[in-house]
């Protein structure tokens, strides 16, 4: 079973890294969106969401993730997911999130992907 939802964040090289654990539902999605908004307002445009400890995401939770992607797109930013459980990866793929967001195996790979695209955030 999933653990209670929890979230931690850190900023590394101007990238926001949000690490979650537990069910990404309405509560989880709101918490992620709020954390994102706090950093977005301060100019962060590159975001990594590490879902290593979240094996279950529902569509309400996904709608928050989509909003984050849209906000970043409008601001020429980018979101990369990392450490995805195969079932979650498939869900996000079917919902079309990877058309506008990246995915990497680890947080480090995700951070490197920002370097690779030459879009190091402000």
Residue number with CB closer to other proteins (52 or 56): 56
**6, 8, 42, 59: residue in contact with other proteins (rule CB under 8 A):** 59
Taking the complex as a whole, the smallest distance from the CB of residue 20 to other proteins amounts, in Å, to: 13
Question: Measured from the CB of residue 111, what is the shortest distance to other proteins in angstroms?
Answer: 28
Residue 1 contacts other proteins per CB under 8 A: yes
Which parts of 17-36 interact with other proteins (CB under 8 A)?
Answer: 22-23, 25-27
| SS (HEC) of the chain | CCCCCEEEEEEECCEEEEEEECCECHHHHHHHHHHHHHHHCCCCCEEEEEEEECCCECHHHHHHHHHHHHHHHHCCCEEEEECCCHHHHHHHHHCCHHHCCEEECCHHHHHHHHHHCCCCCC
Residue 95 interacting with other proteins (CB under 8 A): yes
Interface residue list for other proteins (CB under 8 A): 1-5, 22-23, 25-27, 55-60, 63, 66, 70, 74, 87, 90-91, 94-96
């Amino acid at each position: 079973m999933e653990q209670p939802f929890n979230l931690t964040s850190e900023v590394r090289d101007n990238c926001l890294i949000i690490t979650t654990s537990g069910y990404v539902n309405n509560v989880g999605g709101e918490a992620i969106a709020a954390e994102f908004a706090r950093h977005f307002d301060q100019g962060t445009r590159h975001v990594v969401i590490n879902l290593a400890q979240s094996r279950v995401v529902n569509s309400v939770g996904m709608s928050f993730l989509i909003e984050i992607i849209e906000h970043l797109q409008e601001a020429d930013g980018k979101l990369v997911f990392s450490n995805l459980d195969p079932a979650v990866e498939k869900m996000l793929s079917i919902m079309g999130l990877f058309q506008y967001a990246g995915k990497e195996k680890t947080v480090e790979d995700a951070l490197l992907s920002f370097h690779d695209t030459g879009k190091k955030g402000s």
